[in-house]
Amino acid sequence: MIGDGVEVRVLRVGKDGVRLGIVAPPEIRVHRREVYDQIRDANQSAVVSAGQLAQVAERLTKAK
Amino acid sequence: MNLAPAATETEITVSEAVTFPDGIPGFESCRSWVVMAAESATPLRRLHALDGADASFLAIDPRAVLENYRCDLSASDRRRLGAGDDDALLWLAIVMMEPSGALTVNLRAPIVINPRTMTGQQVLPHNCLYPLRHVLVDAE
């Protein structure tokens, strides 16, 4: 158990490794770290300033 | 609410602040967001954080990008959004301008907003085959 209500279970043990499962209440989100980090990095790269908004508008106009 | 066909802008709008209980990855402290028109960058919309950080994003309905776009919400995602089967949801995929000048859209982790509960989140499906950077407009 981790904290209140989060449980780590060993689902399978094999020669290639151990398969773990996470059981958590629905209000707690469970993600693989690398998936979360990938989306986090993408979000941080995607923030636009007012100037970039104008640039994007220009790119869209040219593309139409 | 009627959903417009994929090629035209969706009719779902939210005029007030939406609560994101977990923020979005990288902006976890931003819990209050607004969806606005993006002025000259239509059909894109602007997703702006009201608290936590000074963050603005451009976004587009993923179904306007790929006609057959489909992202399944898990039962716990639906619970978090307070979304019943009949709730029409607002889908927004974040658009990014690449260093090359290309515009790409994150189809892998869309933002989903339930206008009825004014709650939203960025969904991270477990096995999503859509690209993180789908090209919307090529580099020049």
CB B110 within 8 Å of CB B65: no
The ranges assigned to domains in chain A are: 7-63
The residue in chain A having the minimum alpha-carbon distance to the alpha carbon of residue B40 is A57
**Residue of B54, B48, B140, B31 whose CA lies nearest to B94:** B48
Q: Do A43 and B22 touch (CB under 8 A)?
A: no
- Give residue B5's pLDDT band: very low, low, confident or very high (50, 70, 90): very low
- Give residue B6's pLDDT band: very low, low, confident or very high (50, 70, 90): very low
Taking residues B44-49, what's their average pLDDT?
93
The residue in chain B having the minimum alpha-carbon distance to the alpha carbon of residue A27 is B80
What's the pTM?
A: 0.83
- How far are the Cα atoms of A61, B43, B119 from residue B137, in angstroms, in the given order? 10, 13, 30
User: Testing the interface with B: which of A23, A29, A61 to mutate, by most B Cβ within 10 A?
Assistant: A29
Report the length, in residues, of chain A: 64
Is this complex's ipTM strictly greater than 0.90? no
A chain contacts of residue B124, beta-carbon cutoff 8 Å: 29, 31, 35-36, 39
- Tell me the nearest-neighbour CA distance from B63 into chain A, angstroms: 18
The ranges assigned to domains in chain B are: 18-136
CB B89 within 8 Å of CB B106: no
Return the bridge partners of B57, or none. B47
Q: Do A46 and B41 touch (CB under 8 A)?
A: no
Please tell me which of the candidates B55, B75, B76 has its beta carbon nearest to residue A47. B55
Class (C level, CATH) for B18-136? mainly beta
**Around Cβ A38, how many Cβ atoms within 10 Å?**
16
Report the length, in residues, of chain B: 140
